[in-house]
Amino acid sequence: AIRQYLLSGLVLHGVLVTIELTIVAMIIGMAGGIPLAVMRLSKNPVLSALSWAYLWFFRGTPLLVQILFWGFLGALYPKLFLGLPLTGAVFGSAATSRVIGASVAAVLALGLNEAAYAAEIVRSGIIAVDKGQTEAADSLGMAGTLTMRRVVLPQAMRVIIPTMGNETISMLKNTALVSVISGHDLLTSVQQVYDQNFKIIPLLIVACLWYLLLTSEIGRASCRERV
C-alpha cells in the first residue's frame, strides 16, 4: 500500500502544495520580520511598542487557532467591503469566503505567524553585528536606513540564514495544520485517500516519508549554507 500511494497523483499534488505553502509563507515571514525587527530596535517608542505587540500576540497564541480564525473569518464577516471609513461610502463588496479561501487563509496564517518568529531571528542577527560597524558607517555620513541596508543586514545574514534553515523545517511541518481548513496540503491529500480506502496507517507512513525527505533536503541545504 505504501509503494502504491507514495507516488500517486493526489499525494504528489499535496507535496507540491506543501512546498509552495512553505516557500510563500517564509517569504512573507522574512518580508514582515525584517521591518518588525528594525522597529523593535528603534528608539521610537511607538514603533517599538507596535512591534512588541505584534510579536506578543502572534507568538503567544497557537498557530492552529490563527489558522482556524482566518479559515472561518467568513462566519464573523460574511462580506468584505471596500470604501471610506466613517463616511458610509462603499465602492464594492465581495463574499469573504470567495476572497479568503482555504489557500489564502493558510498563507495568511502561516506567513503572519512566521513574521513574528523571523523578527526575533533578524533582531538577534542585528544585535550580533559589532557596534563598530555602525559607528564607522556614521563617520562616513551614511543615513540610518542606508547603514542598516548596506552594512548591518548583510553581516547579520551570517547569523540569520542558518537559523532560518531550522525555521523553514518547522514551517514545512506546520503546513500540516492547514488540513483543519481543507488546505489541500500533503496531509489533507493523504486524508482524502484513506477516507476512501481506510488504509489509514500506510497512508500516514506515506506522509511521514515525504515530510522526512523534504525536511532532510532543507537540512542539507542549510548545512551547505553554513559551510
- Mean pLDDT, rounded, for 127-141: 74
pLDDT over 90 percentage in the chain: 46
State the average pLDDT for the chain: 86
d(CA 199, CA 190): 10
pLDDT recorded at residue 151: 77
Instruction: Work out the pLDDT band at 116, boundaries 50, 70, 90.
Output: very high
- Mean pLDDT, rounded, for 122-150: 75
Q: What are the tens digits of pLDDT across the range 69-103?
A: 999 988 888 888 777 776 767 777 788 888 888 88
**Do residues 25 and 110 make contact, with C-beta atoms less than 8 angstroms apart?**
yes
∠ Cα 99 106 207 (to 5°) = 140
Q: Is the pLDDT of residue 106 over 90?
A: yes
- Where do the H-state alpha helices sit in 42-142? 45-60, 63-71, 73-76, 96-99, 102-128, 131-139
Q: What are the tens digits of pLDDT across the range 194-223?
A: 888 888 999 999 999 999 999 999 888 776
**Quick one: cell of 88?**
458610509
> Which residue's C-alpha cell is 492547514?
178
pLDDT recorded at residue 147: 76
Q: Is the pLDDT of residue 227 over 60?
A: no
To the nearest 10 degrees (0 to 180), the angle between helices 102-128 and 9-41 is 40
Sign of the torsion formed by the C-alpha atoms of 157, 162, 165 and 170 = negative
- Say whether 100 sits in a helix, a strand or coil: coil
